[in-house]
Chains A and B, each alone.
Chain A
Amino acid sequence: QVKLQQSGAELVKPGASVKLSCKTSGYTFSTSYMSWFKQIPGQSIEWIGMIYAGDGGTGYNQKFKGKATLTVDTSSSTAYMDLSSLTTEDSAVYFCAREAGRYWGQGVMVTVSS
């Protein structure tokens, strides 16, 4: 069955960067899209962007341009999201998901604190 396994929780300092992973199985990764989402605990969900694994083509929410960079490694069927110049406002749970939210990763908590 389809699985999206995200990396573990991160505690990072302000100004640093972090790379989150989403390892997939159970479907053909190389011809699929992957979306990423942000959710601050207790708040709603925001769409960050999407990447097509076939050619690495990306689309971003304007709000997250310059903050998030999406990449894929088709050899390991893994999607990645780099978050740069982190501030406390980036502290949130980040999800990967595909097929218009039919399948979700378990989410990863990123805490930005000195």
Chain B
Amino acid sequence: DVVLTQTPSILSATIGQSVSISCRSSQSLLDSDGNTYLYWFLQRPGQSPQRLIYLVSNLGSGVPNRFSGSGSGTDFTLKISGVEAEDLGVYYCMQATHAPPTFGGGTKLELK
């Protein structure tokens, strides 16, 4: 199975600070159809995951534009430009290029 390694595992930030989360894959996530099936989710405490980004860099419906995704191949990044209180929780990357879909270990964003 594809292993996704997220760093850091814990991220302490102040409100308004810009932060980045890395997701590195054990294999290239570029599919033969030309798409890269890499997604980002936020899971707030006690809630279901919320999809933020799909196909590396596409913003999900209703997701604030302070979130952005980038990367290619095996290296991907989620950036939050100006953390807000509602952004606190655990962030996960997920790949669906290779079966089975797999998730990273998560990055917990907390207030400093």
Contacts and interface: CB of A to CB of B under 8 A. Distances in A.
Interface string A88-112: 0000000101001110111100000
Given A62-B100, A104-B49, 20 more contacts: A35-B101, A44-B92, A44-B103, A44-B106, A45-B49, A45-B92, A45-B94, A46-B103, A47-B103, A61-B100, A95-B48, A97-B48, A97-B49, A100-B37, A100-B39, A100-B54, A101-B39, A101-B41, A102-B51, A106-B48
A90 to B, nearest CB: 18
Interface of A: 35, 44-47, 59, 61-63, 95, 97, 100-102, 104-107
- Range, interface on chain B: 20 to 34
B74 interface: no
29 contacts: A44-B103, A44-B105, A44-B106, A45-B94, A45-B103, A46-B103, A47-B100, A47-B101, A47-B103, A59-B99, A61-B100, A63-B100, A95-B48, A95-B49, A97-B49, A100-B37, A100-B39, A100-B51, A100-B54, A101-B39, A101-B41, A101-B51, A102-B51, A102-B54, A102-B60, A102-B61, A104-B49, A104-B50, A107-B48
